Structure 1
Amino acid sequence: MLDELRPLIETYGYLAVGVGCFFEGETAVILGAFAAVRDYLTMPGIVAAAFVGTVIGDNIWFWLGRRLGRPFLMRRRHWRRKSRRVELMARRHSTVTILSVRFLYGLRSVTPFVLGASRVHPLKFLLLESLSAAVWALLMGWLAWLVALAARSAATAENLEWYLVAAVLAVAAAIWIGYFLIGWLRTRNAQRSIE
């Protein structure tokens, strides 16, 4: 059944990986690796798409932070705690904080925003974050390739790959839904406490 989607995957696969890494990352790279194992895409192309999507996403968050700044952070109750942690890290070790942006799970989108709001120099952020994104894309690409190879070699059932892809998508969807639901509930509760 995956073979029926081959033209679609070959046409839009790299774009899908880039967009996926703009928003999240790991899931897109893993799905791309499954396509690469079947020779629909190439791993160097997936790593490149992951790198580009990651750099664009992190820099958009950085520039939003630079433009909207601290007042925006203070209005976002669920970001306040996270932003304080990032600010403390950035004050002590700004270079290490920038280099670790892609590896700070739970702080990944807030970190570039806070760094932008804290007036880290844009060129410093771009260079160090690009280095971090390259390391992350190579590491994730390699790990995803190993997972996809192991899944393919373990595939005794005809549709095991489909089940694995479906499981990865289901987990990613559940995480995103949970993230947005928690944010919505926090916002609603914050509004109720103000009233």
Structure 2
Amino acid sequence: MIENLEDFLSSYGYVAVFIGTFIEGELFLMVAGFFVRHDFLQPIPTFIFSILGALTHELIYFFLGRWKGRSILLGNKYTKRRYIKAKKLVEKYGIYSLFIIRFLYGMRVVPMMLMGATGFNFYKFLFFNVLSLVIWASIFLSVGYFLGHIAINLFGNLKHYYFLFGLAVVILGLLIYTFLTLKSKRREASR
């Protein structure tokens, strides 16, 4: 089984990191950091693909905001509430709000659209977004890397269980994501 994991990661690992940042970036970066620690992925390409994936995701929403932002953001109750929160944050901190937004659960899409819709300078947005992504990727890849290091110290060589461990982390992350999403939707519905 481990040979299959090694083959998979050597063939598709960086693509998985790129795509994973679209789905649940923090979780995928921690798993990627774990695999970097165990030499399944190389640190520099993992870092670069994580930034490129998240940047691509956010640029899509920035330009979607430029194109149809206000109608999308104000079009339903869920995004309208997030829009109001994001607008306050962006009005208070301007472009620097990218650094705050990066670490707020459920607040990555709406602010990117808002910045596009309100005409933020693209190059300024790009510069500060990449800078915040470098910090973000460094933190979450490091967490995964050190969790991988701790796993070695606690359990020794887990080479035969990497796939199961990675799968367990992904499942746990998806469960947490689902729980937080449902909790957020219930909170929104009760307002």
How would you bin the TM-score normalised by the shorter chain? Answer: 0.7 to 0.9
* Equivalent position of 1:98 in the other structure: 98
CA-based RMSD: 2.6
TM-score of the pair, normalised by structure 1: 0.83
CA distances 1:110-132 after superposition (whole Å, capped 9, x unpaired): 22112212221211111110110
Amino acid at match of 1:113: M
Question: Shift of residue 55 of structure 1?
Answer: 0.9
**Structure 1 vs Structure 2: percent identity of aligned residues?**
25
* Equivalent position of 1:130 in the other structure: 130
* Equivalent position of 1:192 in the other structure: none
Amino acid at match of 1:170: I
Q: 1:152 to 1:76 in 2, by over 3 A?
A: farther
Question: Shift of residue 177 of structure 1?
Answer: 4.3
Within 2, Cα distance between the matches of 1:106 and 1:78? 11
With a CA cutoff of 8 Å and minimum separation of 6, indicate the structure with the bigger relative contact order. Answer: 2
* Equivalent position of 1:173 in the other structure: 174
Kept in 2, the 8 Å contact 1:29–1:141? The answer is yes
Kept in 2, the 8 Å contact 1:98–1:128? The answer is yes
How many residue pairs get aligned? The number is 189
Kept in 2, the 8 Å contact 1:6–1:40? The answer is yes
> SS state of the match for residue 24, structure 1?
helix
Within 2, Cα distance between the matches of 1:170 and 1:66? 35
Return 5+ residue gaps in structure 1 as ranges.
Answer: 190-195
Within 1, Cα distance between the matches of 2:116 and 2:67? 8
Kept in 2, the 8 Å contact 1:17–1:49? The answer is yes
Within 2, Cα distance between the matches of 1:90 and 1:153? 43
> SS state of the match for residue 119, structure 2?
coil
